[in-house]
Chain A
C-alpha cells in the first residue's frame, strides 16, 4: 500500500488557452459567430442558384406540350400558330439559353408571364404567397407552442395518465391524413355546429386591410381595424389548426424524448444538487439542451407543412400558393410552376438558415469552436 504522491507544484496540465485569454479577449469570442453567419449565408445563396436550375430542369422535363395545353383545338392544328406561340414564349431556343434568360429574369424579379392568368408571375406570387405564409406561419407557431408544451408535460409526467393520453393523441395527429381532417373539420365546425366562419380569408363583403405585409391579420392590426382582424383571425384558426395537427404530434413526440434524455444528464443532477428551483432547472438547464433536436425537426416539419397547404387551401378555399400551384401545374403553365417552385425552395432555405443561426445562438460550441 502506498499513497498517491501529491506534487508540490499546483499544476494540472491545462493552463486554459493562455494567449487568447489575455490579448484578444472579448473580440475574439464574438468574431467566430460572424464568420459562421457569413458562411451560412453564402451557402444559402449558392443553394438558391441551384434551386433555380433544378426547378427549371424539372419543369422542362415534364412530358407534355405547353402549347397543346394553352392553345385552342383549332389553333393547335396549325403548325404556324404553334411555332409562333413557342417563339413568343421563348420555347424555340436551346435549353441552356432558355435557362440563362430565365435566370436573368429572376434576378430582376421577372418570373415571366403566366400563360394562365396572362399576368406577370411575380404579380400572381405577390398576391398568393402572403396568404400561404400567413396560414403556414400560424400553423408552425401553433405547433411549436403546443408541441413543445405537450412534449415537456409528457416527459415530466412520464408513464402517468397525462403522458399516455398525450402519446396516443400525438400518434393520432401524425397518422390522420390532413385532407380528411380538413374535410371533417369544415363539415363539423362550419356546416353542423356553425361556430367557425366559412371559406376564404375574411368574411365576404369585408374589405381587406391596406397592404403592408400581405398577411391580413398583421395588416389589420397595423391599421387598427380590429373588426377585420377578428374576421381574418377567425378564418385562419381552423385551417391553421388542421394543418398544424401533424406537426403538433411530431413535435410532442420529439420534445418528449429529447427532454427525457436531457433529464438523465449529469448536469441536470448537478443543478439539483445546487438547490436551484425546479422552474429554473427546467427552463435554463433542460429546455435549452432539448430544443436543439426540436428546432431541427421543426425546420423540417415546416417543409411538409408547405406541401400540406395545397389540400387544405383547396378545401377551405384559401387563395394561397397551393391552389395557384395546382392550377398552373394542371395547365402546364411553366413560368408559374417555376415561380412557385422557386419561392417554396427559397422559403425552405430561409427556414434552414434560421435553424442554423438558432443553433449558434443556443449552443456556444457551434458559435465558438
Chain B
C-alpha cells in the first residue's frame, strides 16, 4: 500500500486509513484509496463490504450516528474535519455523486431543469438564463434527445437510462473534479448499462474527472476501470491496475470473486463485439 504522502502528490482525492463505526459497529476498518484525474477507480466487493459507505463518507453523507477516523484529502483539506458549511461548498461543486437508482434519486415533483440548475445557481452564482443554457448543454453532453424541450419535463416522463443520464448531468453541472458513482448501472437494463458506462468513461477522459465507481459487478469493472480496489469486511484487500487485479489476482478473495462469475460471459453477450479494449 502506498503512503499518504506519495499519493496526495498526484491524486486529486486521497482516502487514507478511513474507519467508520455506526453505533459501535465497525463498518470500515482502515480504507486507503487514491483517485487520479482522468482515471476511473473501481471499487468492488460483495454487499456489506463497505463500498457504499466509503463513497458516502467522502461527502459526509453517512447515516446518523456514524463516527469516522482517518483522512479524506481534497486539495489540501481534510473533508472529514471540514466544518459543515465548507463541506456543503465542496458537495456538488468539487465532489459530486451519482446514486444507484435514478427512479428515486431525482425529485419526482421538480422539473429536470430545476434539478439541473439549482446547485449551479447556488455554487456558481449563475443567473437563471445562464444556468438554463448551461443545463441544456449538459443534457446534450450526456446525449438526451431534444434537450431544449426535455429540460421542462419531469423525471417520470423519462426512461430509466435517460434518468440516469440526467442524474449524471446533475452531478457534472458544477464541473466537479471528483465523481462518485455508487452502482450507477445496477438498477438499469443490461442494454442500457453499456451506454451509461460508455458515457462515464468518455466524460472521465474528456473532462479529466476522477471517478470512483462503486460496483459489485466485476463485468462493469472490467469494462471501464483503470484501477481496481477489492473490498472485504471493511478493508481493501487488493488494489492495482485493472488487468493485473482481474487477470492475476494476488488475494484469495479476489480470486473467489472472479471464480464466482458465470463462465465465459463474453461468449453469450448480446452479439456486439465482446471487446475488452479501451472503449473510448
A-B contact pairs, 27 of them (CB 8 A): A2-B266, A2-B274, A3-B266, A4-B220, A6-B201, A6-B272, A7-B194, A12-B159, A12-B192, A12-B195, A13-B189, A13-B191, A13-B192, A14-B161, A267-B105, A267-B106, A269-B105, A272-B59, A272-B91, A273-B92, A274-B118, A274-B170, A275-B92, A276-B88, A277-B88, A288-B109, A289-B107
Interface 0/1 of B160-186, CB less than 8 Å to A? 111001010010000000000000000
Interface 0/1 of B249-280, CB less than 8 Å to A? 00000000010010011110110111110010
Closest chain A residue to B160, Cβ basis? A14
Asked if B199 contacts A8 (CB within 8 A), the reply is no
The complex places the Cα of A289 from the Cα of B110 at a distance, in Å, of 10
Partner of A18, one of B99, B146, B192, B218: B146
The complex places the Cα of A26 from the Cα of B149 at a distance, in Å, of 8
**Chain A CB within 8 A of B77 CB:** no
Residues of A within 8 A of B194 (CB): 4-7, 12
Residues of B within 8 A of A265 (CB): 104
Partner of B195, one of A11, A270, A277: A11
The complex places the Cα of A271 from the Cα of B154 at a distance, in Å, of 16
Closest chain A residue to B120, Cβ basis? A274
Max chain A C-beta neighbours (<10 A), residue from B61, B105, B150:
B105
Residues of B within 8 A of A6 (CB): 194, 197-198, 201, 223, 272, 275, 279
**Chain A CB within 8 A of B48 CB:** no
Asked if A29 contacts B152 (CB within 8 A), the reply is yes
Contacts A2-B266, A6-B275, A266-B104 given: A25-B149 contact, CB under 8 Å? yes
**Chain A CB within 8 A of B156 CB:** yes
**Chain A CB within 8 A of B108 CB:** yes
Residues of B within 8 A of A288 (CB): 107, 109-110
Distance from A7 Cβ to chain B, minimum over Cβ atoms (Å): 4
**Chain B CB within 8 A of A107 CB:** no
**Chain B CB within 8 A of A280 CB:** yes
Partner of A362, one of B99, B109, B264: B109
Determine the interface band of chain A, counting residues with CB < 8 A from chain B.
35 or more
Distance from A14 Cβ to chain B, minimum over Cβ atoms (Å): 2
**Chain A CB within 8 A of B81 CB:** no
Asked if B99 contacts A269 (CB within 8 A), the reply is yes
Distance from B203 Cβ to chain A, minimum over Cβ atoms (Å): 12
Asked if A10 contacts B119 (CB within 8 A), the reply is no
Residues of B within 8 A of A207 (CB): none
Asked if A22 contacts B119 (CB within 8 A), the reply is no
**Chain A CB within 8 A of B69 CB:** no
Interface 0/1 of B187-229, CB less than 8 Å to A? 0110111111111010000000000000001111011000000
A4-B220, A16-B159, A277-B88 given; name 8 further pairs at CB < 8 Å.
Answer: A3-B276, A4-B193, A6-B272, A12-B191, A14-B159, A18-B146, A270-B105, A272-B91
Asked if A7 contacts B272 (CB within 8 A), the reply is yes
Residues of B within 8 A of A363 (CB): 108-109
User: Which residues of A, 241-281, contact B by the 8 Å Cβ criterion?
Assistant: 265-267, 269-277, 280
**Chain B CB within 8 A of A39 CB:** no
**Chain B CB within 8 A of A15 CB:** yes
**Chain A CB within 8 A of B122 CB:** yes
Partner of A271, one of B107, B266, B272: B107
Residues of B within 8 A of A277 (CB): 88, 122
Interface 0/1 of B138-159, CB less than 8 Å to A? 0000011110011011101111
The complex places the Cα of A288 from the Cα of B107 at a distance, in Å, of 10
The complex places the Cα of A185 from the Cα of B219 at a distance, in Å, of 71
